[in-house]
Amino acid sequence: MKKTDVINSELSTVIANMGHMDWLSIGDAGMPVPMGTKKIDLALSKGLPSFQQVLKNILTELEVQKIYLAEEIKTQNPEQLSEIKKTLPNVAIEYVPHTQLKKDLAKTHAFVRTGEMTPFSNIILESGVTF
């Protein structure tokens, strides 16, 4: 049995297959996922698991050099933005309109759906390198 923190087999496989500058997305329960984008649905019920629980779990195995967030998170969900900044304190952030973030999901290796029920709790993680 795997010893590290990400034990979901689909998610672990996606992370293992990522290279430098590849994208992985995590989002709230309502985020629309483009056709053709792999969807890993972890949602069990409202709020479970939370966006932050999933993000922190993924970060135990994925090196991240940059993140993409919806511009709207600044005004519509500043609490989540604050938590993201605490979780990824030294990572560059690029803000894009939410409509663009939704389109960009088509460029990700997968979208990880959480049970999060707060607005604009969506992120694209850009993979870094560990050397």
| Number of structural domains found in the chain | 1
- Is residue 59 assigned to a domain? yes
Reported as a pLDDT band with limits 50, 70 and 90, residue 1 is: confident
- What is the domain-level CATH number for residue 66? 3.40.1650.10
Phi, psi (degrees; rounded to nearest 5) at 70: -70, 135
Q: Which domain holds residue 63?
A: 20-32+39-127
Tell whether 57 is in a known binding site: no
Tell whether 122 is in a known binding site: yes
Percentages helix, strand, coil for the chain (3-state, rounded to 5) are 30, 25, 45
Tell whether 109 is in a known binding site: no
pLDDT of 98: 98
- Catalytic machinery residues: 20
Residue range 76-124, pLDDT digits in tens: 999 999 999 999 999 999 999 999 999 999 999 999 999 999 999 999 9
Tell whether 111 is in a known binding site: no
Task: Tell me the pTM.
Answer: 0.96
- Is residue 117 assigned to a domain? yes
Phi, psi (degrees; rounded to nearest 5) at 87: -70, -35
Contact 30, 125 (CB under 8 A): no
User: 74 CB contacts (<8 Å, ≥6 apart)?
Assistant: 81, 95
Residue range 8-55, pLDDT digits in tens: 999 999 999 999 999 999 999 999 999 999 999 999 999 999 999 999
Place of tokens 């088509």: 106
Upstream peptide bond of 49 is cis (omega within 30 degrees of 0):
yes
- Is residue 10 assigned to a domain? no
- Is residue 1 assigned to a domain? no
- Is residue 120 assigned to a domain? yes
pLDDT of 106: 98
